[in-house]
Amino acid sequence: MNYDALIPVIRNLAIEAGNRIMEIYNSDDFDVKVKSDDSPVTAADEAADALISAGLRAAFPDVMLVTEEQSDSHAARGDTFLIVDPLDGTKEFIHRRGDFTVNIAMVEKGVPTRGVVYAPAKNRMFLTLADGTSVEETGPFDPETMGETTAIRVADSDNAALLVVASKSHRDQATDDYIGKYQVKDSKSAGSSLKFCLVATGEADIYPRVGRTMEWDTAAGHAVLLGAGGEVVRFDDHSPLAYGKEGFANPFFIAHAPAVELKEA
């Protein structure tokens, strides 16, 4: 993959999708439907999916594309593909809490190597550059021209005073039990793939996920975290979280700064 060609395209599409999402978010009302897996979907999910899919297929017609809203059609699998969650955090969107993101990533040999996470309601964008390092862009989010960027890096974590981030909509007793194994200075909640990005910027040290996720939920945030020096490992054996799995379902996982001394499940 030509990363110099890839990054401007995925950044541009994320911003354009974010603009479309915000038009619907700021409207008086929008319909909410329920998918076959009982998860909600809105017009914003569908509009963003159509926009991003068309753009990626036009730019990279020979690369397999996986998106959440078209997942039922993804019979073929491979270890190299583009993967999209056009609106991660639909529940946050529906409740107008703002913690939702647009996610686009490139997976190569099972590893998310490049990605962009855009939170339009929060005015935050995190992305990998062509060289694989991660930055936060601070606006004005012009689709055609990248604004000012700041390099991001995971924290040099203090295991006696860790900062934990966990899911806002899916936090449960199992998550709390695992967090309880650590010496925690502070704990915060966040929605969508923003949790990966908070670890990537050093605003948190660890994000454990003891619950169901899909590869499109995690790939872009995973790529950003890798580019900031972080890691994402399986909850059960601490091996690297891999992509291209049958059905695209993830096991439980832990996203963390390398200095964190991981506890057993």
* Interatomic CA distance for residues 213 and 196, integer angstroms: 13
Mean pLDDT computed over 156-161 = 98
Is 3 a residue whose pLDDT tops 70? Answer: yes
Q: Point out which residues pair with 66 in neighbouring strands.
A: 83
Strand 124-128 and strand 134-137: the pairing is antiparallel
Task: Write out pLDDT tens, residues 109-152.
Answer: 999 999 999 999 999 999 999 999 999 999 899 999 999 999 99
Provide CATH code, domain 3-151: 3.30.540.10
DSSP structure string for 72-132: GG-----SSEEEEEEEE-HHHHHTT----EEEEEEEETTEEEEEEEEETTTTEEEEE-TTS
Question: pTM of this prediction?
Answer: 0.94
At 106, list the tokens. Answer: 């490139």
User: For position 76, what pLDDT does the model report?
Assistant: 54
Q: Which fold has domain 162-256?
A: D-Maltodextrin-Binding Protein; domain 2 (3.40.190)
User: For position 84, what pLDDT does the model report?
Assistant: 96
Which comes out higher in pLDDT, residue 31 or 180? 180
pLDDT category, 251, cuts 50, 70, 90? very high
User: For position 246, what pLDDT does the model report?
Assistant: 86
Is 12 a residue whose pLDDT tops 60? Answer: yes
Domain boundaries, the chain: 3-151, 162-256
Which comes out higher in pLDDT, residue 94 or 180? 180
User: For position 38, what pLDDT does the model report?
Assistant: 61
Is 37 a residue whose pLDDT tops 90? Answer: no
pLDDT category, 69, cuts 50, 70, 90? confident
At 182, list the tokens. Answer: 């650590």
User: For position 112, what pLDDT does the model report?
Assistant: 98
Task: Write out pLDDT tens, residues 161-197.
Answer: 999 999 876 678 999 999 999 999 999 999 899 999 9
Mean pLDDT computed over 53-72 = 90
Mean pLDDT computed over 6-12 = 98
pLDDT category, 90, cuts 50, 70, 90? confident
pLDDT category, 218, cuts 50, 70, 90? very high
* Interatomic CA distance for residues 192 and 236, integer angstroms: 22
How confident is the prediction for the chain on average, in pLDDT?
A: 92
The tokens 């449960």 sit on which residue? 172
